[in-house]
Structure 1
């Protein structure tokens, strides 16, 4: 069975009713004819395994299962074939995933002893893993029922069982079904599924025909906006979002595309959309292109967004800048992109549409700083409009912020240096012009001075000093001693400094705050201990622990691979450092297992080192072998040696 046919089976499993070939074609980015050919192949295969695909004229295709035991055996075979070359699960996360698949596909009861032998683990280990398995399955209203002498078997509604299969048995890197939120939209608006599919098809067709480049999130947001706008218009609520005539936008091809989308949608849904909706959809289609390819001023850009959304977006960016100093407050692409995302996202929540984010784990791993900024955005949304945002939505917001952080890196200013020379300004200028010719825009020479005027240098505005005379004074910034006539060795010395990482992960670790091989059995006991230890040596706010739990409520800080990185929701410490605790046995941390706990203490108003720290921690998260080495370490010296080797 090829990957596309495998994906079709997953989509059919996710629905408890028929779906069209057009929907499948759009999801898998192939033609409807290809889908129909693949369904013939899939149907032929399934008929020998207790299932078939029913074709309903004018409605679509539906999976029907006549022999549940035979069908599960078939899925089990597929799973076994796909994973036959993979090693047995080692980490807790891998074991939990493995067990969920085993229970979903089991034709009968499973004995713990047999599972222990199968996975080469102890009974106590599997009993710990089962707690997490039960928590995950409960989200689908599924439970594990025990029968004496027989073992455990999964129990629950068959439709929910199949949906759980579609989520956990198939590779999540494959195209993700839009079934959940389309079904929710249908319930909210009473629009039949076929009409929803037709509107979706119109959007996709116009975008493809006109070669408009939009992300999946942007397309989803546009679709959700149109459908919810239909419901609000029906209820007598009309939008009033445009504060100007937007001549520049009307010149763009996207405006004509918006007109066609609305015209087709009006026929499908039998309703008239007001002219403001055409402008709003034009803005969605333009997205951040408006920043680069139109002549709109900053005021114009802000006026494009509905006033409430504009104010909300500005408040979010202001608070992120105040708390984290990321230098992205004035990024126009972020202002527009985040504003366009927020309107439909808020509507989703107001209508009870919680959408899973399949990229969440990757976003938390690859953009941890952006994710923390998005947590702040979630706080603003909760305070301003009383909408509680979960970590799936926080992940989507983090994508916009992460892109702005990366854009800001491209505009990184050159390193600023001062030249100190003992033999007069003439030789200082000689060094200056040589530096400019060799390093170009990478170095900005802020000034030159004699040695005796050293105290007059504005050290707070300078990254380093280049001096032709040794400086014995202890300065706050590095000093690179060179010859008056710069040699190749001098140039190499400065080059090394420019490339050098100013700080490393170990620079944030203090010996007095590293606690190894502790016997704590709960998250609460571990956090209480770590905070108490810090308070014995430095001042912390009385509510520091409360702030840590407040952050956990927004989105748990367990990253998988036995690591949790808790921290207060706002920076409160006098300096930035890590408090680390390794445990003798893993503990439960919001459904995940944690044995390496790293409490992140951030200096109030000082976030400049956060990205370096996060990058170091994520390197640990991504390497199970390093985690195991650190957990098994019994002394501080060996612990640091492992971290230094990681950064070498």
Structure 2
């Protein structure tokens, strides 16, 4: 039989989440587990075994702890509880997340639900890019929407699901959400260059769009880390697909200007192949624009 530990519940957030004091370490912890908060009132002492606790979180620095405690005072406890369930789900699927997500995501969801209650909608201009670039995080955003619906009876929009995905991805990368948004916006601007050069409009929910934007992200990531790949087809690409190669060079110049990252000829060659594929699939020769 596994030993149980004693906890003093300071705040019961919902049936599955409590904030408690570990009576052994005297640390304040967030505990997530099925039914551990059911019928529990603030100030109650409970004994819980490891098998009853799905997630235990105590890695707050003092600054984050102050923000979290203020958030618990300002936001409906149920919202905090549901957020912790979402974070526990995300960490189970993706691994550890930056501790700032406990404050940032709860704050975002609380504000989003307030907007919904007031009948205010917000558009997410990067929803297709988020789906293409961060499919795992978007999938978790969809599951978060189900948790919110089941817990509060409130439906959140596709745009809000996208914002939750951004928060999860940012926490995976230990970035601020605004940085992730900037990165996403930048990648979208690179695709815009291709569209303008070819006078086409890509279906941003389609496979071609997903492929090219993910390739651009991977290429930039490699260059940022100083990882270089060889393109054995480079000379052939330059000769056979010279127009696409010229467009790819323009993208390389733009990346260098905006991010101070030098894109090698080998990488430009791979970009050119993607551009050539776009030309073929969008019927470029007749300048057909697809919606």
Bin the TM-score by the shorter chain: 0.3 to 0.5
Superposition TM-score, scaled by structure 2 size: 0.42
Rg comparison, structure with higher value: 1
Give TM-score scaled by structure 1 length. Answer: 0.21
